[in-house]
Structure formats: structure tokens, C-alpha cells
């Protein structure tokens, strides 16, 4: 018998809004002001804190630039074929080491099948009925493409679907931690509520440029988060090669939301992902990714510490000069870049927003050529990308049918995640938005929204925080006990 559940969440609700609030490029003014002078001091603080030296930084930078030359050319040549694609049957049978290594390298994977096509299409039809019956909100306001909806019955069915949970468990198994006893259980996915998208043909408004979820300047500013990148910043020319993006040891306590803004993920969400409700191909408003996880991450982490030569930095005018130079195809050669430890620039980083990238801010990634669109996806297919993977949405939907997905991220069980799961459960019961997302009354007055009774399996009820977890080995027994205490008292 479950313990009595609290009837209110201790978290403060986020302000009302939409997905546009987290993206500079979706706002009314895409221009950004220079960061305050304290961010120049932050660079030196990071190096001192991690024991890195300017010389090691320079060696790391040169090593990464050299490696990027070959990897960018490989991606340009292979395009979407470089994205690993596997049938759900392989999830059930167990991923091979070759498959695991390919997923680790690219940071993205497509899983076909699993959810029956007819079931996924029925989800979309039900959601459209729900939208028609209720005063929904989303972006853009006059022609919604991304809906601020979290509590429909199809979303609950997708989050608790065996094929979705099994896929998430398989992908979480690529992660590990050196903490002992383990502070994370990667064998137990929990449900992290997210919104949905129904993008209509011809749409140009829901254009998300290249970005990374989970904070921006927090990557350097938060003392735990920055330690995730220690080997990149410390290791000289080959240090980035020993960086393991699947080591969660420091991530579990990293704070990705220093500015407490809506849409900013507060938990360890290892994989972002979605389950398709439509047949969508290239140029039909689909996902785009940069399929080189470790190398791109190393470049992004090092980028604030370097600038093109002969460009003075530190003021608004100077930053405009750097942007202008970049737009004129600034040289990518190592010798044409120098250390920048005195300027406050963290390119693409705006406090309270997501980390955004473009040809100006991160020229060596050659994003105009290396961002590749997902190959054709059918209803019921799943796509997942690592939380550090650069991704985007195509600028225009040129197809004839809608491009529709339910966002179904993969998050593991931990004490911190259990605390979020508890508060998310409370919001769900009351029809409110999930705690990390824009607040307000949400769907509390909507007709036809989901209730706990719509969760029909024990595993689903556990993933949603309505039933205690069960330890599967001595290794996770203590963690499971503590997580259950957080959830149920």
C-alpha cells in the first residue's frame, strides 16, 4: 500500500510562457547584449578551479581544430546516412558493441518500429480532438506549432509504453558513473514530461536553430557542471579524446538552471527524444543534428577561451566587429586564432536561455554543412539524442502532411530526479504544467485530460511516480529505498 502523497509541490511555479522564452532566435529581438564584465573573470576562475593552464588550453584547442577537419568532411560526405538507425527488435535483443559505439560517437539514434503505426496515428487523432475541445496555448500564438500541452492521454500512453521504456532503458545503459555506491540507477527510466509538436505544411515560424538543451553559461559558471569538462580543459592536445560524455559522475549534481527560467531542465536528463506520430522526411520540418558528440562538445567548451586574431573584444562595438569578421568567412586556421582570457564573451550563451550556435559563434563546426536532417521517420518510430548533442529543427516544412511528435526524453532514477518526479506527479494530478515548464493554470480546467487512472501498468505507474520502485540488485537497493522515501514519505 502506498504512503500518503503530498497534495502540493514545494517548488515555485515558473512564469507563464511558451517554448520561445528559452530561445534567443525565437524572440522578438535576436540581437543579444554583451555579457557583464564578471564573465571575463569567470574564465580565469574556471581555469584556476580545474588546474588548467593557458598552454594546455592552446594545445587542446589546436588538437580539436585538427580533428574537426576530418570529422566535418566525413559528415558532409555521408549526410543523413551517418545517423545510426536500428529496428526495435535490436533493442529487445540487446545492442551490439558496434551499435553502442556508433551511438556514442554520433550522439543520436533512430529506433524504428516498437510502437505500432496505427497506435501512434490514433494518438495524434486523439490529441487533435483534445486541442479542438480546449483553449490551448503554444507558439506562435496565431498559428500554434508547438503546444504547451503535457497532460493528454496519448502523452501518458506514450510515456508508459513498453517499447518507449525499453528503448530508454537500453540507451540509458550506455551511461555510467564512478560514484560508489552508485547515485544513479540507469536501469530504471523515469518519465520526464515534455510538450508536443504538430507542425503544419508550409510553416516557417517554428525554426529552432542549432542549440544544446540544459543551460548555456551554466556549463562554465556552475562549479559542478564545469567539472564535467575537466579533461577537455586540462588535457592538452589529446585531452578531449579521454573525455567521456556518458560519465554522469559530476552531472548528477550539476545545476543547469542558475537563472530559474521556464523551459530549463533541472534534472539529469540523459537523452532528449521524441516519438513520431507522422511520416516525415528531409525538408518536411524534421529534426536536424550535428552527429559528432565528443568532438563538438570539446570545441564548444573551449570556444569562449579563443577569438580570431586582430579583433579587439570586450565592448558592444568590438563584439559587432567580431561578428562582422566572422560573417566574412573568418579564417579557420589554427594560427589565425588566439587566446581570449580577458574578454567576457561566451559565444551563443545568454543567461536564462539555451546554448545556441551558428556560423558566426562557432565557425569551425561548419554548421551550414554539417547539420544533417533525420532520414524518413514513420509513425511509432523513436529518435533520441544525447543531452550534449547539437540539434535543430528545419527552417521550413516543405512537405504535404503534418510533422508531429511527442517529446519523450529519457531520464534515470536518482534521488534528485525522484524529487522532481514527486512534484511532477502532483502537477499532473492537478492538470498543471510540469515543474520545469512555463506555469499558469495549464490544463487544470480542460476536458478530457489524463488522470492517474489512465496509467494501466505497474511499470508505467513506477515511471510516473505513482508506485514504489523495487531494487533489482544490491547495487541499487540503497538508492531505490531513498528515492521511494522522497516519493512516498
pLDDT of residue 2: 43
Digit-by-digit pLDDT tens for the chain (489 residues) are: 344 444 555 677 888 988 878 877 665 444 567 899 999 999 999 999 999 999 999 999 999 999 999 999 999 999 999 999 999 999 999 999 999 999 999 999 999 999 999 999 999 999 999 999 999 999 999 899 999 999 999 999 999 999 999 999 999 999 999 877 678 999 999 999 999 999 999 999 988 899 999 999 999 999 999 999 999 999 776 788 999 999 999 999 999 999 988 889 999 999 999 999 999 999 999 999 999 999 999 999 999 999 999 744 444 444 444 444 444 567 899 999 999 999 999 999 999 999 999 999 999 999 999 999 999 999 999 999 999 999 999 999 999 999 999 999 999 999 999 999 999 999 999 999 999 999 999 999 999 999 999 999 999 999 999 999 999 888 899 999 999 999 999
pLDDT of residue 203: 94
pLDDT of residue 23: 78
Residue extents of the structural domains in the chain: 28-308+326-488
Provide the CATH number for the domain formed by 28-308+326-488 in this structure.
2.60.120.330
Collapsing DSSP to helix, strand or coil, 70 comes out as helix
Which residue, 424, 429, 418, is CA-closest to 486?
Answer: 418
pLDDT of residue 329: 67
pTM exceeds 0.85 for this model: yes
> What is the strand order of the sheet 85-87 is part of?
85-87, 108-112, 382-386, 271-276, 403-407, 196-199, 146-147, 138-139
Rounded to whole angstroms, how far apart are CA atoms 101 and 98? Answer: 5
385-418 burial by CB neighbour count: b if 16+ within 10 A, else e? bbbbbbbbbbbebebeebbbbbbbbbbbbbebbb
Cβ–Cβ < 8 Å for 446, 155: no
pLDDT of residue 12: 78
pLDDT of residue 20: 77
Which triple of cell numbers denotes residue 201? 505544411
Rounded to whole angstroms, how far apart are CA atoms 49 and 265? Answer: 25
Rounded to whole angstroms, how far apart are CA atoms 367 and 391? Answer: 10
Strands 85-87 and 108-112: parallel
Contacts 24+ apart (CB under 8 A), 70-74: 71/292, 71/295, 72/292, 72/364, 72/365, 72/366, 72/369, 72/370
Strands 306-308 and 337-339: antiparallel
Cβ–Cβ < 8 Å for 414, 183: yes
Amino acid at each position: 500500500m502506498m504512503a500518503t502523497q503530498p497534495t502540493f509541490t514545494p517548488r515555485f511555479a515558473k512564469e507563464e510562457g511558451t517554448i520561445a522564452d528559452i530561445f534567443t532566435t525565437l524572440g522578438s529581438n535576436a540581437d543579444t547584449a554583451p555579457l557583464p564584465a564578471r564573465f571575463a573573470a569567470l574564465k580565469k576562475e574556471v581555469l584556476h578551479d580545474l588546474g588548467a593552464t593557458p598552454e594546455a588550453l592552446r594545445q587542446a584547442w589546436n588538437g580539436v581544430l585538427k580533428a574537426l577537419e576530418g570529422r566535418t568532411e566525413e559528415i558532409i560526405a555521408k549526410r543523413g546516412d551517418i545517423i545510426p538507425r536500428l529496428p526495435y527488435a535490436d533493442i529487445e535483443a540487446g545492442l551490439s558493441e558496434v551499435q553502442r559505439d556508433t551511438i556514442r560517437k554520433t550522439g543520436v539514434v533512430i529506433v524504428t518500429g516498437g510502437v505500432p503505426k496505427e497506435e501512434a496515428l490514433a494518438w495524434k487523432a486523439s490529441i487533435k480532438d483534445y486541442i479542438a475541445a480546449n483553449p490551448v496555448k503554444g507558439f506562435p500564438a496565431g498559428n500554434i506549432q508547438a503546444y504547451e500541452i503535457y497532460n493528454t492521454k496519448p502523452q501518458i500512453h506514450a510515456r508508459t509504453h513498453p517499447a518507449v521504456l525499453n528503448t530508454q532503458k537500453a540507451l540509458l545503459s550506455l551511461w555510467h558513473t564512478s560514484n560508489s555506491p552508485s547515485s544513479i540507477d540507469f536501469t530504471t527510466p523515469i518519465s520526464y514530461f515534455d510538450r508536443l509538436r504538430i507542425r503544419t505544411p508550409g510553416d516557417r515560424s517554428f525554426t529552432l536553430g542549432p542549440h544544446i538543451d540544459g543551460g548555456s553559461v551554466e556549463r562554465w559558471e556552475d562549479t559542478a557542471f564545469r567539472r564535467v569538462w575537466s579533461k577537455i580543459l586540462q588535457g592538452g592536445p589529446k585531452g578531449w579524446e579521454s573525455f567521456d560524455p556518458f560519465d554522469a559522475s559530476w552531472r548528477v549534481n550539476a545545476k543547469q538552471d542558475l537563472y530559474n527560467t521556464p523551459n530549463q531542465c533541472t534534472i539529469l536528463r540523459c537523452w532528449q527524444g521524441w516519438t513520431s506520430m507522422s511520416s516525415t522526411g528531409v525538408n518536411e520540418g524534421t529534426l536536424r543534428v550535428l552527429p559528432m558528440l565528443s568532438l563538438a562538445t570539446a570545441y564548444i567548451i573551449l570556444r569562449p577561451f579563443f577569438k580570431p586574431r586582430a579583433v579587439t573584444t570586450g565592448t558592444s562595438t568590438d563584439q559587432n566587429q567580431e561578428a562582422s569578421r566572422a560573417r566574412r568567412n573568418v579564417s579557420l586556421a589554427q594560427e589565425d586564432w588566439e587566446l581570449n582570457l580577458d574578454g567576457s564573451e561566451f559565444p551563443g550563451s545568454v543567461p536564462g536561455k539555451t546554448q545556441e550556435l551558428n556560423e558566426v559563434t562557432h565557425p569551425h563546426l561548419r554548421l551550414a554543412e554539417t547539420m544533417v536532417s533525420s532520414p524518413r521517420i514513420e509513425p511509432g518510430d523513436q529518435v533520441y539524442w544525447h543531452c550534449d548533442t547539437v540539434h535543430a529543427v528545419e527552417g521550413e516544412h516543405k512537405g504535404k502532411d503534418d510533422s508531429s511528435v511527442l517529446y519523450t526524453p529519457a531520464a534515470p532514477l536518482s534521488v534528485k530526479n525522484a524529487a522532481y518526479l514527486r512534484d511532477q506527479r502532483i502537477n499532473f494530478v492537478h492538470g498543471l504544467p510540469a515543474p520545469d515548464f512555463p506555469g499558469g493554470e495549464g490544463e487544470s480546467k480542460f476536458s478530457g485530460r489524463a488522470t492517474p487512472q489512465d496509467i494501466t501498468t505497474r511499470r508505467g505507474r513506477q515511471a510516473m511516480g505513482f508506485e514504489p520502485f523495487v531494487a533489482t540488485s544490491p547495487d541499487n537497493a540503497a538508492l531505490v529505498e531513498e528515492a521511494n522515501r522522497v516519493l512516498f514519505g
